[in-house]
Amino acid sequence: MTTKGATDMTDAAAGARHETMLQCFEWYLPKDHRLWRRLSSQAARLIDDGFTVVWLPPAYKGVGGDADVGYGVYDMYDLGEFDAKGSIPTKYGTRDEYLQAIGELRRRGLRVVADVVLNHRMGADGEERVRTRIVDVDDRTVSDGTAIERTLDTVYDFPERDGAYSTFRWNWRDFTGTDYTANDGSTGIMRFDGKRWSDHVSHERGNFDYIMGDDVDVNDPVVAGELTDWGVWYTETTGVDGFRLDAVKSIDARFFAPWLRTMRRHGSHPDLAVGEYWSGNVDELTAYLHDCGHCMTLFDVALHFRFEQASKNPDGFDLRGLDAGTLYEREPAYACTFVDNHDTQPGQSLESWVAPWFKPLAYAYILLRDCAMPCVFLGDYHGIAHDRIPPMPMLRRMVWIRAHLLGDAMAAQPGDTAHSLCWIVGGDHPVCVVLNTAQEATEREVSDAALASRMLVDVCHPQAAVAVGDDGRGWLRCPAGACAVYIDAGDYEGMRTALGEG
């Protein structure tokens, strides 16, 4: 038997790396204003590990100042520059540090995705009297017949910024509704008299235009113009390569195509957009893609829920249908696959944490096959100190294998069962994957000419190597409730050296 590829190892597909995105934050990062600096110093390692895209958290000032994760948007022009909401920096650092981080990440060859939150504003600077109608929380299409004037926090004049970058001032006419009455502190969804919810949004609770705070009216031409002006300023100022679009299920799908076209004409010509439409119903996801003209990809929330289900009921889950009813199955070119994120991690409102034992299987499924752009969560890659959750074993190796070894020819192997999947990604550096949710170990026979006469090592359990015959046939073992990832023994040694493990 021989080992191959140790000396001639190159990236798959003649130097082209498969796309892999890293979500560079989790909810409980410390409020130390140092994330931008840390990312600047880690840029070289991230590209060496195999990432091609990094998703940065919202960079603008939130209502919580430097304690805000970034989704309670106050001023999108304040990137950590003005003494507003109790601090100059955001949770992650200052404007200069943010721009330096983007520059360093891009210089190293990483594409930078900015988190854009267009749906709402919070932390108004002033009050005004507004005629409103109370909305039924369970059916937002139903509201009071009589409008009542209330005192609301809907004036945003950003006194600390004092007109820098933009003189636009927000008032109730720029919003569709809110949920807080300033004069008596009462809460409840209110739609402003004369306004209507957007049509091309989720039909959850009748109409899911409203989420929180002061709901931005993207269908108002003045507001759409301001959001476009901001986007142009932001793109030209930061040089980002794309956008992660927050809460698109609550934003009219027709808004995004012209907005993104404009962004692509400016700055660094951002060519990447990933929308977050939080629904496990693939019909809703595909409908939104249709309504927005396929101007973005969407996170495959349906696949995430399949992972969660499989992890919590392995005996009753048939792995052969793991991708059934998912965006990866229905529209793979528009599916950004992921396992978990900042919203699904323990303690968050959308908590749906994939059980730790299953995470290696889930990541093998999105990283080591034909997913267009899988997204790795920082909480899995580095762990979550807040909850004493350690990094996921072998995840760094899987990212590296995807970048440096993975080819384009994926072939399922015969013999899949309800608790066992096996596939090979062929090429000069073949990768063989086995998933096993059974309570006992399994062995799978594989057959591929690219495997002939190779010595294979399971990077997850490297204690024993497997010799493949001259005919390309061999038997791959996978422990109970685990995954096995077999690569050529020479590639295995090259991987360990590249990752500093040798």
Reported as a single tens digit per residue, the pLDDT across 67-83 is 999 999 999 999 999 99
- 416 assigned to active site: no
Strands (E), 117-216: 120-121, 126-136, 139-143, 148-155, 175-180, 187-192, 214-216
pLDDT of residue 328: 98
The number of angstroms, rounded, from the C-alpha of 460 to the middle of its chain's C-alpha atoms is 25
Catalytic residue among 48, 125, 128, 276: 276
Rounded Cα gap, residues 2 and 452, in angstroms: 10
Cα(50)–Cα(398) distance, integer angstroms: 9
Mean confidence (pLDDT) of the chain: 95
Question: For the chain, give me the number of helices (H) and strands (E)?
Answer: 12, 25
Q: What is the CA radius of gyration of the chain?
A: 25
Band the pLDDT of 185: cuts 50, 70, 90: confident
**Mean pLDDT score, 81-91:** 98
Taking only the tens place, the pLDDT of each residue in 376-408 is 999 999 999 999 999 999 999 999 999 999 999
Residue 8 pLDDT class (50, 70, 90 cuts): very low
Catalytic site residue from 174, 179, 226, 246: 246
Which residues belong to the annotated binding site for Ca(2+)?
119, 209, 215, 217
Q: Which domains does the chain have, with CATH numbers?
A: 121-216 (2.40.30.140), 409-498 (2.60.40.1180)
Sequence-ordered list of residues with C-beta below 8 angstroms from that of 184, at least 6 positions apart, any chain: none
Specify the pLDDT at position 1. Answer: 46
Helical residues (DSSP H) of 239-316, grouped into ranges: 256-263, 282-291, 301-312
- Is the pLDDT at 5 greater than 70? The verdict is no
Taking the C-alpha atoms of residue 366 and residue 462, their distance in angstroms, rounded to an integer, is 22
Q: What is the mean pLDDT of residues 443-458?
A: 96
Do residues 253 and 291 lie in contact, with contact meaning Cβ atoms separated by under 8 Å?
A: yes
Band (pLDDT 50/70/90 cuts) for residue 268 is confident
Beta bridge partners of 19: none
Which position has the token pair 């929308």? Answer: 275
90-133 pLDDT per residue, tens: 999 999 999 999 999 999 999 999 999 999 999 999 999 999 99
∠ CA 31-37-42, rounded to 5°:
115
Task: Assess whether 246 carries a catalytic annotation.
Answer: yes
pLDDT band at residue 182 under the 50/70/90 scheme: confident
User: Are the C-beta atoms of residues 459 and 401 closer than 8 Å to each other?
Assistant: yes
Overall average pLDDT of the 285-302 stretch: 98
- Answer for the pair 13, 404: CB distance below 8 angstroms, yes or no: no
Phi, psi of 303 (to 5 degrees): -70, -40
**Token representation of residue 76:** 């999108």
Residue 2 pLDDT greater than 50, yes or no: no
What is the distance between the alpha carbons of residues 382 and 39, in angstroms, rounded to a whole number?
A: 13
Annotated binding site: 119, 209, 215, 217
- Look up residue 176 and give its two tokens: 């569709």
Residue 285 phi, psi (nearest 5): -65, -45
Tokens, residue 228:
């476009």
Instruction: Please say whether the beta carbons of 488 and 425 come within 8 A.
Output: no
Region 211-234: what's the mean pLDDT? 97
Over residues 462-484, the mean pLDDT reads 96
Predicted confidence at residue 16, as pLDDT, reads 63
In 3D space, the residue among 114, 374, 166, 103 whose CA is nearest the CA of residue 270 turns out to be 114
- pLDDT tens for 24-71 read 999 999 999 999 999 999 999 999 999 999 999 999 999 999 999 999
**Considering the chain, what percentage of its residues have pLDDT values greater than 70?**
97
Separation of alpha carbons 326 and 335, rounded Å = 9
Q: Encoding tokens for residue 311?
A: 């992890």
Check whether 6 has a pLDDT greater than 50.
Answer: no
